Amino acid sequence: MEIIKQFELSKEYLESLQQAIEAEDLNFIQESLDGVNVADIAALLDELSMSESIFVLRVLDAQLAADIIIELEATNQHRVLKELEVQEMANLIELMDSDDGADILNLFLEREREDIISHFQDKVKSDQILELLRYDEDTAGGIMAKEYIRANKNWNVVQTINEIRRQAENVSKIYSIFVVNNRQQLMGIVSLKRIVLASDETKIEDIYEEEVISVPTYMDQEEVAEVMRKYDLESLPVVNSKNKLVGRITVDDILDVIREEAEEDIQAMTGISDTVDEYDSVIKLSKARLPWLLIGICGGLLGAGFIGFFEEGLSKVTALAFFIPLITATGGNVGIQTSSIVVQSLASKSIFDDSMAKRFLKVLLVAILNGLILATFVFGVVVLFYKTDVSFAMVVSIALFSVVLLASFMGTITPIILDKIGINPALASGPFITTANDLIGLAVYFLVAMSLLHI
């Protein structure tokens, strides 16, 4: 028995594995990796060179190699597979669950995909995968697998256990059995626990639950994740428009979806245009970050041109420049806060949504309250510590209050509009909006100054 074997995979082991590959010591490779979890072997291979990885995969049992490839990092998956012969690749993909096989094939061009599938030996598997490839990758159809146990409602427990036995090799994890009628329409669900506890002759129709939650093939994966989380499901049947059972989604797929979506949101919020991590190359990291930085820079240059219009006034009242960072920073902070709350509520839509008008009223009230508090505070500090006259302090306070209001408004409508037109609303908390809010803030500040100070 071992407690999480991952901690045993040390840098020392990595080195001895590389030596074994060099010396073509097949025994060492096979024996030292025996019993190690596939996820850990995959993490190990991600550290090896391409040719070393290929060598290890070829040495290991084919089923194990297929499982490892599924767990590799996305970039490595494609690189490793491209090095293999087409027939070799087809053999490995055939050993995967249909959903994983389809994911892997999605890494290739359509022409390459068809070539690989034509090398399949198993007609059933190739049909299954071809079906899955038809669905959009981000929908229930795109993440479901064809491996599941279905039982006809007229069967008894023994017949069902025989079906499980027949499918045991294909379906690695069984949580529940989906119950269908003669037309393969989903009728309900029966847990494996109930099957175990029932007597052999019990009819499925006497023990299955009719209240089954299913999703249509076209449902977005983020919604699927929310359904599984909300209803505490470990496996979820997917049906087509005629309510025919076409696949199942398991909770481990959903964990990956949730992680992906959370990472995408954070990357959208921080203005990183590509999925990168610290271990990517300098060039890739730089390229992923430049676009948004350039947008910020262009915003800044526009802002410079804008302030330039007020050069004359600025040269009369230099103190105006002092509070530029205060105005722009507050606009940015308020905008990000508001939009992130809206994004969050878009992600977990309540059944009883408040009307749009009611939502805006609330945002407005919060903005007025916070704006008043902040503006009063700033007015006091500016009068007391910066020894300016009261009318100047008024300019800063009024501009600040207006910026809080406008930034709240922008932070509310932007994610809602983005969501409506099918763009990830988390982008609304990103640098694009911060830049827009900077410009709005500057405009408000100088217009208020112009009209109140008559400059």
The CB-of-290 to its own copies minimum distance in angstroms stands at 6
Q: Given the complex with its own copies, which of 142 and 411 has the nearer CB atom? A: 411
Near its own copies by CB under 8 A: residue from 62, 107, 130, 319 = 319
Query: Which one of 14, 158, 417, 423 is in contact with its own copies (CB under 8 A)?
Result: 14
CB 299 within 8 A of CB 438: yes
Q: How many chain residues are in contact with its own copies, going by CB under 8 A?
A: 142
Residue 102 Cβ vs its own copies, minimum distance, rounded to whole Å:
17
Dihedrals phi, psi of 281, to nearest 5 degrees: -75, 160
Stretch touching its own copies by CB under 8 A, among 1-9, 16-24, 25-33, 75-83: 1-9
The nearer residue to its own copies, 117 or 406, going by C-beta atoms, is 406
Of these, 182, 199, 305, 422, which contacts its own copies (CB under 8 A)? 305
Q: Residue 187, interface with its own copies (CB under 8 A)?
A: yes
Q: At which residue do the structure tokens 């410009």 appear? A: 439
Give yes or no for residue 296 binding its own copies (CB under 8 A): yes
Closest to its own copies by CB, 98 or 267: 267
List the one residue out of 325, 298, 314 whose CA is nearest residue 441. 325
The reply to whether 63 sits near its own copies by the rule CB under 8 A is no
Q: SS3 sequence, the chain?
A: CCCCHHHHCCHHHHHHHHHHHHCCCHHHHHHHHCCCCHHHHHHHHCCCCHHHHHHHHHHCCHHHHHHHHHHCCHHHHHHHHHCCCHHHHHHHHHCCCHHHHHHHHCCCCHHHHHHHHHCCCCHHHHHHHHHHHCCCCCEHHHHCECCCCEEECCCEHHHHHHHHHHHCCCCCCCCEEEEECCCCEEEEEEEHHHHHHCCCCCEHHHHCECCCCCEECCCEHHHHHHHHHHCCCCEEEEECCCCEEEEEEEHHHHHHHHHHHHHHHHHHHHCCCCCCCCCCCHHHHHHHHHHHHHHHHHHHHHHHHHHHHCHHHHHHCCHHHHCHHHHHHHHHHHHHHHHHHHHHHHHCCCCCCCCHHHHHHHHHHHHHHHHHHHHHHHHHHHHHHCCCCHHHHHHHHHHHHHHHHHHHHHHHHHHHHHHHCCCCHHHHHCHHHHHHHHHHHHHHHHHHHHHHHCC
C-beta of 86 vs 372, nearer to its own copies: 372
Region near its own copies per CB under 8 A, out of 21-29, 54-62, 128-136, 181-189:
181-189
**Chosen residue from 74, 158, 290, 447 binding its own copies by CB under 8 A:** 290
Contact segment (CB under 8 A) with its own copies among 52-60, 122-130, 182-190, 199-207 equals 182-190
State the nearest-atom distance from the C-beta of 258 to its own copies, in Å.
5
- Minimum CB separation of residue 115 from its own copies in Å reads 30
- Give the residues across from 26 on adjacent strands: none
Does 344 sit near its own copies (CB under 8 A)? yes
Asked if residues 440 and 328 have their Cβ atoms less than 8 Å apart, the reply is: no
337 contributes a contact to its own copies by CB under 8 A? yes
Interface residue with its own copies among 111, 123, 165, 454 (CB under 8 A) is: 165
Contact between 2 and its own copies per CB under 8 A: yes
Spatial separation of the C-alpha atoms in residues 186 and 246, rounded to whole Å: 9
Among the candidate windows 53-61, 107-115, 118-126, 251-259, which touches its own copies by CB under 8 A?
251-259
Q: Binding to its own copies (CB under 8 A): which residues in 208-247?
A: 210-216, 227-234, 239, 243
The 345-364 contact track toward its own copies, x by CB under 8 A, reads x--x-xxx-x----x--x--
Residue choice 120, 178, 323, 379 for contact with its own copies (CB under 8 A): 323
Residues of span 110-149 touching its own copies by CB under 8 A: none
Binding mask 363-402 toward its own copies (x if CB under 8 A, else -) reads --xx--xx--xx--xx--xx--xx----------------
428 makes contact with its own copies (CB under 8 A)? no
Q: Is the separation of the CB atoms in 326 and 382 below 8 Å? A: no
- Nearer Cβ to its own copies (117/143): 143
Binding residue (CB under 8 A) for its own copies from 124, 266, 356, 390: 266
Q: Which of residues 85-104 bind its own copies (CB under 8 A)?
A: none
